[in-house]
Structure 1
């Protein structure tokens, strides 16, 4: 049995990392570091882990600018890391700061900065320092907030985004052991005063938990509740995956067909969750539509009398011969932006778009934009990309295209499922991969749609690495990566 205050050694940390794999043979990792004991211990442990595997680690320090001393603390943290041979970089949250909901806004800004930097560096794995007490607090907060079974499953050890895995290997670990790890290494750390500020909800729950005697076993009870919720969620995920196979077709060009008769055979609690995931993925949103709205949609689909047509969650819904077409609605699509060539872009929260190299574009100036309807009416379109002929017009107009100054259009083509580059062609093509922000499968193990099935993230890791770019120093030209 592990000593409750024992430092974490390399063997134990290797086991924690195996639980959140896979990783490439020479892993390239990033770690978010605040200077607090949890993330700092994670950075030191991860640095040893990657060195043993001939990999690399980049420490990303976010300066939120919310306290006068924040900048000095970020620089001190970077100095500590450099002294340990860890490359550190400070990311600053620029612009006006909110006056309310500060923790949520700061969290969103932090993740945005971290993920954007990972994309630019071509790093697939972002480590975060959440631990066992963070997990307990989250479950308690969600319990009091009336969360459903998925919420009571707490913090996921892995969260998948189109190009990055957000990995939390320390979730099983008592934070006292992280402090012990730093103490054993002679490493100081920072204490953030906002962690104890009772103006914030999490701090109040943290204080309430600490008021219970350890003998009462409150944390153990919450851990058991979470374990039950995880088990139930896994069962729901398996049922939803089965429902996908029975009644959904997800196309690589970002639209879906739902067989209404097959949907009627899916249990209600599974069916509305399935629809919520489809809407979230096709709409490119981070969070699903309101539960009541999705339940009502299922009712309209199955009532036969009601028309499910309309819009929900940035999606357009159209009934076609006992099948429901779900595609991105045209409202609120990204504005046109100028491109130089060679970039990789996350567009509309749905597609990874690889802009053709500059040599393909010649001297013309192009803009990346939603496809104008008249482009698809040109007679040469089916000859340029036969696969587009299967795409309903309602879905085509939500696809990205490159439009030239003289009205010429470079049309999209689904990127090969293995992530390989499209070969040089004339005319050039715009390679896109359907990679929504929110998972369509399981607890997030979804990257892109293969030719006839949904690919698991683990299966698609080589494709992710191919899209993300070659490691620095390989001699390969690094692509710029942005999000629109």
Structure 2
């Protein structure tokens, strides 16, 4: 049936109202393709637009000769709608590794930096119901578990930004029908038909088999409901969990008595809590860690130490990983906020310096203490946790509220 433009707009506007409540400024990520152009056009017609400052950005990956011109086309379209626009260019470098994965990671980082510089509370993305269906099939082919198979979420926090997807209840073809009825134009990225990419092959298979994206998206939503039930079952396991010095202390007997899937989810969340990583560790690594913990053996996973000792399961940063950590503004190792640094100061892991410290006064283990931050100032080593002075201090970036958010949303 033909798309009813008013009905599509109603669904989009309801989602926009719900997702942007309380958000100060909105960014739109617009590539020039049909989905993101439709999102920009819908936002321009959205009655709630007046409550938000809206800006548009296009990431030009420079992977196709036409990409610069397409970004200019988005800029012209944004100007006609009264939206300020910026093109952000990415240098692909030497092209090593998975190019598409690197491009996705760069896009996320560049857009988050852009949003942060403009004080935008959230960035809207044009993912549709078809993206949910395609992602489900792609992850099925990779042996994903319940988290990977769950539907895309409408709201996700990452890189200091809220990423919002208001079009997950709308089909890709619906959006293009709506664009035609509104006389809007868009470009079709030729890589969408390039079957050297997984998503293009999945789209062809779906079409050949007559798979309905709406039904696949419904399956993903059902899996997400099952995930929510599992999350609820996790809460008793962390009743007395404690966040301390950028580490986590869990109740080992409760952990050991839990079903395997709950233990797996707890290990994944605890690892991400310590590192601040946006993505879970590989399944094979998690399985190995669970086997070691079941045997009562200390194990390392993605730069995190899981140490079963007595009634505690201590999860903390691996010292070797901490020695490779860098300072990003006032954040060190994505774990600590360091305040009061002077020109010439250097932040490093305590490491072997633990031999000259009465680390027991901090309430840590010997290994855990080696990953703590120190400030090297004029040849002197300062432990800001204990020797704070001249405004120098170190504070963990994440607390128990963050752990609960990771645990219930990973």
Range class of TM-score, shorter chain: 0.7 to 0.9
| 1:144 to partner: Cα distance | 3.1
| 1:132 to partner: Cα distance | 0.9
Q: 1:122 to 1:393 in 2, by over 3 A?
A: farther
Q: What's the counterpart of residue 16 of structure 1?
A: 15
| 1:375 to partner: Cα distance | 7.7
For 2:59 and 2:147, how far apart are their aligned partners in 1?
29
What RMSD over aligned residues (CA atoms) do the two structures have, in Å?
3.4
Show CA shifts across 1:304-328 (max 9, x none). xx44223222112334333222110
Contact 1:334 1:348 in 2 (8 A): no
- Structure 1: where are the runs of 5+ without partners? 383-387, 414-423, 445-484
Q: Which has the higher contact order (CA 8 A, sep 6+)?
A: 1
Pairing 1:253-292 to 2, within 5 Å after superposition? 253-292=245-284
| 1:164 to partner: Cα distance | 1.3
Contact 1:403 1:409 in 2 (8 A): yes
Moved over 4 A (4+): 7-11, 47-51, 334-339, 375-379, 435-439
- Correspondent of 1:239 among 233, 236, 248: 233
- Correspondent of 1:328 among 312, 317, 336: 317
For 1:158 and 1:56, how far apart are their aligned partners in 2?
19
Q: 1:129 to 1:335 in 2, by over 3 A?
A: same
Pairing 1:33-182 to 2, within 5 Å after superposition? 33-47=30-44, 49=46, 52-98=49-95, 101-161=98-158, 163-182=160-179
- Structure 2: where are the runs of 5+ without partners? none
- Correspondent of 1:434 among 398, 405, 409: 398
Aligned residue pairs total: 407
Q: 1:311 to 1:68 in 2, by over 3 A?
A: same
TM-score (norm 2): 0.85
For 1:404 and 1:271, how far apart are their aligned partners in 2?
43
3-state SS, counterpart of residue 19 of structure 2: coil
3-state SS, counterpart of residue 191 of structure 1: coil
TM-score (norm 1): 0.73
- Correspondent of 1:226 among 191, 206, 220: 220
Q: 1:13 to 1:355 in 2, by over 3 A?
A: farther
Q: 1:375 to 1:293 in 2, by over 3 A?
A: closer
3-state SS, counterpart of residue 58 of structure 2: strand
More helix by share: 2
Q: What's the counterpart of residue 443 of structure 1?
A: 409
For 1:41 and 1:233, how far apart are their aligned partners in 2?
31
- Correspondent of 1:395 among 353, 362, 368: 368
